[in-house]
Structure 1
């Protein structure tokens, strides 16, 4: 009996010792685990903070994109404010799945200028009592337009008659000819209908040919007889913009300019002219960098010359009509297409005519005009117009040096981001 009681006491003692040891082990393990649990808790809080900070920043960036869309394609005047500041608040902005992400506050400073400043702030829930906000700012600027990245581009039809040719060269490598002849004379149209680019027998394009967006190039681009497109037939992903030209409004008024038969003259200053007329066998040389705006007729009779001195750059705006008669020459002295730019305003919407055996070196952008090349024309440069007609033996040599030339004298140029900056943050706001 006594022995049995001792066994019971010993068993209880052992169980107590096991319990004590278990408690000690658990306490020891808890001491080991607590730092990890604390670290995990901190990391979870940091992860949550980082996640919500990124969400707020994404909302702010979405605000910048919304402002750019409104400036480029929408109507910023519908926003609150005036010409110095326009604002828009977007509440409960949702994801594509319909979940509410947060709010966006957008400010557009000087929205009607060429360099607006956009500030945007995104706000998301951080806790039951606070919001987290992050901001961005972007300086915008009008994107310059590059009209001359094709040999020939037409908004609508391009018609190539027999033996008309298009190829390429690079004026920075010297004169056209010999090894300086290439196959990058690309042509294109915004047109999407049958025959918008039409090559008659023996016409040749040494380059690619592009049809309008979403079209079948084989249907839009027609090659007849022995005609040739040396490159590929392709279609654009989107329509090529053809913005209107804005001529300068601060040029001094000069009246009309004219030279009589056989006369010789020089131009060394910019001006606004009512007309520009060269009679037979007359020669005019432009000797300084100038800008000319000709609101009426631009007419060169047979055997006339418009020369540009070496190293001189000339821009001519046309608002009336243009004709270059047979055996006349433009820019044959320097033979540098990059030195002469001709821009057509919206009122320049008739036919731009080059008659037989005339030469031209320059770049032309006339988005509302029809261009007519008569027989035996040699054109060095690039042209963008509404429609084209190349008659027999017209030769077009695209100057690759014009490809990167951009202009900002056009209407409704889109805005792009000039500089972007993330504002300091995140900032916490009480609800």
Structure 2
């Protein structure tokens, strides 16, 4: 087991070091749209030579350490050194640079950061921590990162300069993205949970509902948005009062409807699977206690099926956090606004300003649902 763990750690640590050795960890550009010149981590800017040595030692420590807690500490320490080095390097490169110069994160940074994060996640998984402990393992480095961000360690990076320039747009995009995800989840739950129960209660209903939802799921998102623009636009023209609620052919309304439709299949399928997986002996015990059909569903079947149902909801939330970015193409708002604006301006840091929060939101949502799933499993086991 220990040898297998060491091999797994090497799979993460060695590519991280190779990425830093072969690719630049920073990129210096004369302005926000030109390609620029790569800066290797062993270059003298910002004490990066010392950082490269410390990073190498910590990354190799994830391979040779015996305890998983030590491997986790080494992986997180290597990430901290990597972040410190890019902050110091960006500050050194920007010190005597022109006003429009930009320092962005290079390919070596992204490869190293990704593999070191995977090394940390692998160590956490092998420690068999509970959901709350896993969240604590994430919140601690996140808090340290937030403190460093607040202290201005990364102010010289171009992604932070893009944020300063587009702060109002970023705040509006955050609110719009949350509105799209939550606004699509509520109707999806209101429709999907009863449909899942109908699939469980009647084989004929299941033969109609699941194939229809499969068809919806295979429709490309752009095509779905386009199909909804015509009927919603006609509806808003026929009932002008709906325009006050934001219903129209473009904007958030077709995006929310499309995301809700995409959310139905995982919710319905997991609701059906969860109810079907309830042991028949538990139902017989409930009937023996004189429970009605509704009370049996509420007191026995749903609590036991809750972990599977929550798994489907977690899939939906993570899926819709990503899909909501496409809604910007029809004026739906969200972080896709920054992504597509950056693509139109050939400004990759503006693209990152939109994509990084999407990834962070998806990870946070997944971890929170992990806690809920674990708690419902414990409650069902009792």
Normalising by structure 1, we get a TM-score of 0.20
The structure number with the bigger radius of gyration is: 1
Higher strand share: 1
Higher helix share: 2
